[in-house]
Chain A
Amino acid sequence: AQSVTQLGSHVSVSEGALVLLRCNYSSSVPPYLFWYVQYPNQGLQLLLKYTSAATLVKGINGFEAEFKKSETSFHLTKPSAHMSDAAEYFCAVSDPGGGADGLTFGKGTHLIIQP
Chain B
Amino acid sequence: DAGVTQSPTHLIKTRGQQVTLRCSPKSGHDTVSWYQQALGQGPQFIFQYYEEEERQRGNFPDRFSGHQFPNYSSELNVNALLLGDSALYLCASSFDMKTQYFGPGTRLLVL
Contacts and interface: CB of A to CB of B under 8 A. Distances in A.
Interface of A: 4, 32, 34, 36, 42-46, 49, 51, 90, 92, 94, 96, 98-108
A4 B56 CA distance: 20
Contacts, number: 63
Given A42-B104, A100-B56, A102-B56, A108 B99 contact: no
A105 B42 contact: yes
Contacts of A42: 104-105
Contact of B58 (A34, A49, A96, A102): A102
Given A43-B105, A102-B35, A104-B45, A49 B56 contact: no
29 contacts: A34-B99, A36-B102, A42-B104, A43-B4, A43-B90, A43-B102, A43-B103, A43-B105, A44-B43, A44-B90, A46-B100, A46-B101, A49-B98, A49-B99, A51-B98, A51-B99, A100-B97, A101-B56, A102-B47, A102-B56, A102-B58, A103-B33, A103-B45, A103-B92, A105-B43, A105-B44, A106-B42, A107-B42, A108-B41
B102 A44 contact: yes
Contacts of A51: 98-99
A72 to B, nearest CB: 18
B102 A96 contact: no
B101 A108 contact: no
B42 A108 contact: yes
Select the residue from B44, B47, B102 with max chain A CB neighbours within 10 A.
B102
A48 B99 CA distance: 10
B98 A96 contact: yes
B55 interface: yes
A47 to B, nearest CB: 12
B58 to A, nearest CB: 6
